[in-house]
Amino acid sequence: MKKCTYRVKYQNDIEVDRTLIKEETIVEPINEVLSKQKGRANVSNRVGMPNRTSVNTSSSGLAGKVQGIQPIVKTLNTSAYTASTCGKSPDSPSYGITSSGAKATAWYSVAAGGAYPIGTIIYIPYFSNQPNGGWFVVQDRGGAISNNKLDIYMNTYNECISFGRRYLECYIYIVN
């Protein structure tokens, strides 16, 4: 177990930056999981379980919300979108507003297919060095978004074009 100390920057109550200040190993990890089922204890190794060491669980407040939830691990076809690509006029009251009713936020909001309820938390290791540490929340839907696609909200059209389309490993935590 590690104890990590971070300097966290918030904008509109949303974490936008996190810098590791100090990291300290408190307890070395063990390679066994002890569970109790139907009155008896079972011990199993981690073989066959998703490699949680590759999931950056200490870099976001979202990580705390998924503790104990087994993720669905999938490679999804990811692309990016911004408010100007959603077909709404900038003077419209719904410009930049997700289908959840929240304002779309870069490094936080994603659009996903209906198999992933609004509020589903997704960790994408590819983005672990970004302000969100790779953690996102499903806040939106989209006409071209199926269950094997993910659309990541970015601030500008140029960022979206630069990102393009990529197949990325995603850890999906359905929290509802």
Best CA proximity match to 124, nearest among 150, 100, 105: 150
| Confidence label for 4 from pLDDT (cuts 50, 70 and 90) | low
Q: Flag whether 54 is in a domain.
A: no
SS3 for 175?
coil
Residue range 105-122, pLDDT digits in tens: 888 999 998 889 999 999
Name the residue range of residue 86's domain. Answer: 64-173
Query: Is 81 in the same domain as 24?
Result: no
pTM: 0.64
Any idea what the CATH number is for the domain that residue 151 is in?
A: 2.40.40.10
29-86 pLDDT tens trace: 555 545 444 444 444 443 333 444 344 444 458 887 888 888 999 999 999 998 877 7
The answer to whether residue 57 is domain-embedded is no
Determine the Cα angle at 173 with ends 49 and 161, to 5°.
110
Q: Do residue 84 and residue 130 come from a single domain?
A: yes
C-beta contacts of 21-29 below 8 A and 24+ residues apart:
25/1, 26/1, 26/2, 27/1, 29/1, 29/53
